[in-house]
Amino acid sequence: MKTFGGFRSGNEFFYGELRGDKVHRLSQPYWIALEPTGETLPLANLQIDVPVAPSKLIAVGLNYAEHIAEMKRTEIGAPLIWFKAPSSLLAHTGVIEIAFPDHKTDFETELAVVIGSPAKNVSADDALNRIFGYTIALDITDRDLQKQEKQFGRCKSFDTYTPVGPFVHAGADVRDVPIKLWQNRELRQRARTNQMIHSISQIIAFVSQSLTLLPGDVILTGTPAGVGPIRAGDELEAKIGDWPPLRNTVANAQ
């Protein structure tokens, strides 16, 4: 398994491959080409930034049976998808800013897929060949707006509402790994990825029937049960398998 990310040294942003405690700088985004510059930097001297820059950020809903039950919904027979604004992306240790503090705003932790090669009308058998890697994501959701509006784009696309990272893992086996979220050190979500109703390959095949997935695009694959409200001052920690956890804090937007 190889690990990649977005990093910042002072005001300079770059992509790199993480090997142990060293970051090997790349000349361009890793999903385009793996071209090391030859420069190596200590991770401790860098800020971990958003590891992706997708042309499309796609979310999948109702993909775990227990979550469908807690939301009092029913299965619809096909993946439920919508777009989230890429401007909602937030880095590891970034602050989630609640747009409307008087609204119920929930956390949802998810496995996210990073596309590595173009995918249009691909089969489920071929879908996994189009993946570069995987990462951890949160799909922060304004439930008040979600109930008021027929589509989910706005309620999930406020700035900071999609924390992602800290890194992207290529070559990972995610068929059956634990996915968990802690809120203020209390375990809130706990499931395994093999509980998904629609597999990753089925999701990619379905999405590619409607649009062309491009390298760097990101798909959030759905959240398990246990979602709940966030409040200013909260600390969230999401973890998948043995990857480094994604940690974020919460504040009210100013």
DSSP assignment of 115-183 equals E-S-BSS--HHHHGGGEEEEEEEE--EEHHHHHHSSSSTGGG-STT-EEEEEEEEET---TT-EEEEEE
From CA 228, how far away is CA 235, in angstroms rounded? Answer: 13
Residues 157, 209, 122: CA angle, nearest 5 degrees: 115
For 36-82, the pLDDT digits (tens) are: 999 999 999 999 999 999 999 999 999 998 898 888 788 788 899 99
Q: Which residues contact 151 (CB under 8 A, 6 or more apart)?
A: 82
**Domains and their CATH numbers in the chain:** 2-49 (2.30.30), 57-252 (3.90.850.10)
Return the sign of the alpha-carbon dihedral for residues 250, 109, 4, 192. Answer: positive
pLDDT of residue 143: 97
User: What's the full length of the chain, in residues?
Assistant: 254
From CA 44, how far away is CA 247, in angstroms rounded? Answer: 17
0.85 surpassed by pTM? yes
Nearest CA to 134 out of 74, 204, 76 is that of 204
For 143-190, the pLDDT digits (tens) are: 999 999 988 999 999 999 999 999 999 999 999 999 999 999 999 999
From CA 234, how far away is CA 193, in angstroms rounded? Answer: 26
On whether the CB atoms of residues 169 and 31 are closer than 8 A, the answer is: no
Bridge partners of residue 180, in order along the sequence? 190, 239
Residue 102: pLDDT band (50, 70, 90) is very high
